[in-house]
A and B are shown apart, each in its own frame.
Chain A
Amino acid sequence: MSVFLRRVRLIALKEYKHILRDPFTLAVALLLPLLFVLFFGFIIDLDYKHIPLVVRDNDQSPLSRRFLRQLSAAGYFDLAPAHGMLAAQAALRRNDTAGVLVIKKDFGKNIMKGDFTAPARAQLLLDGSDNTKAAMAQAYMTGALLKINADFTRLYHADAAAANPDALVRTRFLFNPELNSRWFIVPALNTVIIGFLAIVLTALTVAREWENGSMELLLSTPVRAAEIVLGKLIPYFTLTLFDVLAVFVLSLYVFGIPFLGSFVLFTFACCVYITGALALGLVISVITRNQQAAIQFAFAAGLLPSFIFSGFIFPVENMPLFFRIFTGLFPQRWFLSLSRSMFLSEASFAALAGPMAGIIIFAGVMVFAAVKKLKTDVEP
């Protein structure tokens, strides 16, 4: 074994001991991602099972009531009748409801006739200001309608081919017509968790050694900066890789997200992304040399890019030009796009090359910066 590798190993072994003897850090590192993904996953699930919906039934026929009963039985919507259109609109404006379902007068009559060529007999008006919620509501409505449609066509012998959900209920988005309706939260969770946790974990390590003075001692020995940096990275790398894989398994088996891409490529991308995030934490640690400052920096450097610049909450493609370029500085954006493409599509390697290059460059620059900054010239 070369001197270099031997020293990397000894720094890493020492760091493992520190981690194992600090149950709090270990618990945070291992349990936080799981809690995070479970909370996130289930809160999304629970919240959207009972979407409040105001209903204005202008038809008041047995058929319209049957329709509403079935819709209610599907469990996605909590229906509340509105007395008059004005009351319905007021509820929408007061933000008391996610949308309004309006059933027109001849709803029942047209269905009895089996006439699917007439204009929609019901309209769903959704509050698009919360696009995720609106998209979910629409998706649930579509699902519920498919079932109800099948039921109605069987009952009234209408032309099944014509009976698509749109013909029965027509949806319009209010407030935000360009709705992004993909299901994309869970595949993006790894990006957010690692982009945050990894930075915080390593931000503490070097700062801790500066604070108790041992970094000075390390630097007075023949050990070199690169050996310290790699030795510090390895234990946290294994820890975070475990996190990534755990979240991956949860995504697939608890939340039933499909994974269509290449698992090998995904693992590779995870390794690169983790390295970059951990190295950024080290850079912060080396610069601040103080655990409190390091943790604050790490929060800023982890939270904002993970949630805002990554496209997790706001789609990057909708951002102004400056921010589209600016977000490119953050690996979270590239990894998020990789993660979504790999979960939801069988993207070719060529399509992934750009984001892949983004995270590789970031990881390289960060490792280099950490080593460079730690190099012998260490003025406080």
Chain B
Amino acid sequence: MTAAEAAAAQANENIIEVKDLTVSFGDFKAVDGISFDVKKGEIFGFLGANGAGKTTTIRTLCGILNPARGSVRVDGRDVSSSTAVLKPLIGYMSQKFTLYRDLSIAENMAFAGSLYDMPPARAKARAAELFDFIKLRAPQDTVAGDLPGGVRQMVALCAALLHDPVLIFLDEPTAGAAPRTREDFWALIRALAARGKTIFVTTHYMDEAQYCAHIALMDRGRIIALASPRELKKTYNAQNLDEVFIKALGARGAEDER
């Protein structure tokens, strides 16, 4: 196998390749020289406290932010130069926005579909399929603002999945949700991964990280640990991921003091 072939095989296997990524806002480095790869079809967890740089990384991967330094490749292509090709492949559910609250469920879904130039009939059929999957009981003409938070988040996820993206970014999808809803959510996420979708998910719930194939721990713009949950527990000699996180942070703090 030549070097070029090996690189191509790698590119095939990795849907995301990030090398030495730095994103700055003025003098502040929100993301500071991080590198990681995400394999096709895996659930990749991004963990860290608020302000660690998780959302900034996602935005850069979606092509909404331009990196100050480093390279970001999605599906073998450079994100900043081929955004138009990549956008249809990506589904993004942002932390802040769920649905337009003054529009009904059906209107929200129709709008989401039309953003990706889906024929209305196909968008409708696909929405019905997704709603079936999440067992949505609310009528389609319910105004999104009237839905309970957890349900709205589920519907928002459906909106992000409507155009059948291969790579799905979920930014804190379960933040503030009831434990029951979080379980439902993760059931859906795992079902998607089983169907071959790649899921890139950020969270600050350590128990959720168990479901990820790989997790990256982020702190103040840097990745301080990156491995499978099992490997991490072994490396840090910890019982659970909370402990891993505390120990990893402690190590970083000691490093800062030195």
Q: A216-B96, A217-B97, A219-B64 are known contacts. Are A21 and B116 too (CB-CB below 8 A)? A: no
Contacts of A18 in B (CB 8 A): 100, 102-103
CB distance B100 to A376 under 8 Å?
Answer: no
Which residue of A21, A22, A223, A378 is within 8 Å of B65 (Cβ)? A378
When each residue 107-127 of chain B gets 1 if its CB lies under 8 Å from chain A and 0 otherwise, what string results? 100010011110000000000
CB distance A220 to B64 under 8 Å?
Answer: yes
Closest to B97 in A: A213
Contacts of B14 in A (CB 8 A): none
Query: Is residue A221 contacting chain B, with contact meaning CB distance below 8 A?
Result: yes
CB distance A379 to B25 under 8 Å?
Answer: yes
Query: Is residue A320 contacting chain B, with contact meaning CB distance below 8 A?
Result: no
Which residue of A6, A22, A216, A217 is within 8 Å of B117 (Cβ)? A6
Contacts of A10 in B (CB 8 A): 111, 114-115
Which residue of B102, B103, B116 is within 8 Å of A222 (Cβ)? B116
Contacts of B84 in A (CB 8 A): 222
CB distance B87 to A376 under 8 Å?
Answer: no
Contacts of A221 in B (CB 8 A): 87, 115-116
Query: Is residue A176 contacting chain B, with contact meaning CB distance below 8 A?
Result: no
Query: Is residue B83 contacting chain A, with contact meaning CB distance below 8 A?
Result: yes
Query: Is residue A380 contacting chain B, with contact meaning CB distance below 8 A?
Result: yes
Cα(A46)–Cα(B103), bound, Å? 46
Interface hits, A366-380 → B, CB 8 Å: 376-380
Which residue of B64, B90, B97, B111 is within 8 Å of A14 (Cβ)? B111
Interface centre among B64, B87, B111 (most CB of A within 10 A): B64
Contacts of A220 in B (CB 8 A): 62-64, 87, 90, 92, 94
Query: Is residue B66 contacting chain A, with contact meaning CB distance below 8 A?
Result: yes
When each residue 206-249 of chain B gets 1 if its CB lies under 8 Å from chain A and 0 otherwise, what string results? 00000000000000000000000000000000000000000000
Cα(A380)–Cα(B25), bound, Å? 8
Query: Is residue B50 contacting chain A, with contact meaning CB distance below 8 A?
Result: no
Interface hits, B54-96 → A, CB 8 Å: 59, 62-66, 83-84, 87-88, 90, 92, 94-96
When each residue 164-203 of chain A gets 1 if its CB lies under 8 Å from chain B and 0 otherwise, what string results? 0000000000000000000000000000000000000000
Which residue of A14, A223, A377, A380 is within 8 Å of B103 (Cβ)? A14
| Nearest Cβ on chain B to A209's Cβ, whole angstroms | 9
Cα(A259)–Cα(B122), bound, Å? 54
Interface hits, A52-107 → B, CB 8 Å: none
Closest to B143 in A: A21
Contacts of A376 in B (CB 8 A): 63-64, 66, 83
Interface of A with B (CB < 8 Å)?
3, 6-7, 10, 14, 17-18, 21-22, 212-214, 216-223, 376-380
A-B contacts, 6 of them at CB < 8 A, read: A7-B114, A14-B103, A219-B64, A220-B87, A222-B116, A377-B66
Interface of B with A (CB < 8 Å)?
25, 59, 62-66, 83-84, 87-88, 90, 92, 94-97, 100-103, 107, 111, 114-117
